[in-house]
């Protein structure tokens, strides 16, 4: 007999990095680097400050884990979010949640955009390809990596599954470490993940695409990386997705230990989509 038992929720808070100089200049970045502008730094600090105010007023939970892609712009954004939210009020004994260690993970990097990287966003892919051949010779057999949405989803799904598994071990563990780590979680494991626009768009499309407004076009934009009506992911916008995690039990009459257990995603719910309320005072 098979049975699915709902255990806990992994709540993903997906944040795009702050504005970079390439963003400001309309240049395709992909898997290239670009520093945050002063505006980008202010955006990240504002998100941390706003979250802490909401946490104070509405008793929002602490982040269980904080991840970022391993690029400088995302790690700096994550650090600034933590700094912006790092407050302590002795009178009310309120301490913000922004004290976690940032874990860089290359599965959260931006989608590789091939020959368009380093070019103006307005330049079509085929024109960028011709420029590449002019600069490197048509005899070149190696082109810059161009990822599909499936490529991005494969690596990000692997990351999500790993997060779910770690949460499962904490949720069901009997060690003092596991018990200590889950005591304030209330069956919800809040994850802050600072990533990139196309990567976040892919996660949203794959997990909760059917919950998006009908005006939004689902898709990756193909080799161009963009398409009219696609989901826009502004700098430091936050998207929240709840993933319900269950334990799949294979119960046999002669199996008292229930050794055959596995976890899986039961469903996913879109809670918030590309929220930028924290930017209002900086516009």
Mean pLDDT, range 129-136, rounded to an integer: 92
Q: What pLDDT, on a 0 to 100 scale, did the predictor assign at position 88?
A: 46
CA distance 2 to 172: 20
Beta bridge partners of 188: 9
Distance spanning both ends of the chain, measured CA to CA = 58
Mean pLDDT, range 235-245, rounded to an integer: 97
18 is in an annotated binding site: yes
pLDDT digit string (tens) for 187-234? 999 999 999 999 999 999 999 999 999 999 988 788 888 888 999 999
The pTM score is 0.89
Structural contact between residues 193 and 108, judged by C-beta atoms closer than 8 angstroms = yes
238-250 and 2-16 as β-strands: parallel, antiparallel, unpaired?
antiparallel
If we measure between CA atoms, which residue out of 29, 37, 100, 11 comes closest to residue 71? 29
Q: Is the pLDDT of residue 175 over 70?
A: yes
pLDDT digit string (tens) for 64-98? 899 999 999 999 999 999 888 765 444 544 445 55
Structural contact between residues 82 and 48, judged by C-beta atoms closer than 8 angstroms = yes
Q: Is the pLDDT of residue 13 over 60?
A: yes
Q: Is the pLDDT of residue 60 over 70?
A: no
Q: What pLDDT, on a 0 to 100 scale, did the predictor assign at position 56?
A: 62
pLDDT digit string (tens) for 30-56? 999 999 999 999 999 999 988 877 766
Sketch the domain layout of the chain as residue ranges: 2-112+148-282, 113-146
Q: Is the pLDDT of residue 103 over 50?
A: yes
Mean pLDDT, range 123-132, rounded to an integer: 95
17 is in an annotated binding site: yes
Those residues whose C-beta lies under 8 Å from the C-beta of residue 229, and which sit 6 or more positions away, are 215, 216, 217
Ramachandran angles phi, psi of 120, nearest 5°:
-60, 145
20 is in an annotated binding site: yes
Give the angle 65-71-77 at the CA atoms, nearest 5°.
60
In this structure, of 3-7, 122-126, 154-158, the range with the lowest mean pLDDT score is 3-7
158 is in an annotated binding site: no
Q: Residues of the chain with pLDDT > 70: what percent?
A: 85
CA distance 102 to 92: 27
Structural contact between residues 36 and 18, judged by C-beta atoms closer than 8 angstroms = yes
CATH number for 2-112+148-282: choose from 3.40.50.1240, 3.30.930.10, 3.40.47.10, 3.40.50.2300: 3.40.50.1240
Alpha-carbon distances of 125 from 7, 128, 226, rounded to whole Å:
46, 5, 11
């Amino acid at each position: 007999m098979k049975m699915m038992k709902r255990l806990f929720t992994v709540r993903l808070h997906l944040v795009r990095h702050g504005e970079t100089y390439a963003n400001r200049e309309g240049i395709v970045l992909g898997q290239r680097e670009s520093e945050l502008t002063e505006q980008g730094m202010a955006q990240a600090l504002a998100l941390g400050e706003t979250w802490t105010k909401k946490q104070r007023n509405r008793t929002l939970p602490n982040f269980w884990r904080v991840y970022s892609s391993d690029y400088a712009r995302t790690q700096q954004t994550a650090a600034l979010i933590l700094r912006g939210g790092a407050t302590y009020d002795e009178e009310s004994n309120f301490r913000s949640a922004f004290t976690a260690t940032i874990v860089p993970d290359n599965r959260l990097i931006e989608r590789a955009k091939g020959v368009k990287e380093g070019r103006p966003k307005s330049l079509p892919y085929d024109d960028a390809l011709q420029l590449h051949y002019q600069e490197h010779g048509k005899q070149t057999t190696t082109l810059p990596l161009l990822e599909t949405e499936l490529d991005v989803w494969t690596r990000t799904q692997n990351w999500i599954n790993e997060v779910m598994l770690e949460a499962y071990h904490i949720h069901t563990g009997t060690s003092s470490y596991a018990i200590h780590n889950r005591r304030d979680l209330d069956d919800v494991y809040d994850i802050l993940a600072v990533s990139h626009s196309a990567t976040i768009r892919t996660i949203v499309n794959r997990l909760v695409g059917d919950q998006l407004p009908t005006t939004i076009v689902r898709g990756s934009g193909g080799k161009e990386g963009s398409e009219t009506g696609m989901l826009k992911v502004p700098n430091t916008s936050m998207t929240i997705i709840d993933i319900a995690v269950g334990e799949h039990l294979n119960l046999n009459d002669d199996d008292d230990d229930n050794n055959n257990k596995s976890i899986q995603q039961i469903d996913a719910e879109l809670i918030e989509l590309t929220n930028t309320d924290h930017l209002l005072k900086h516009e």
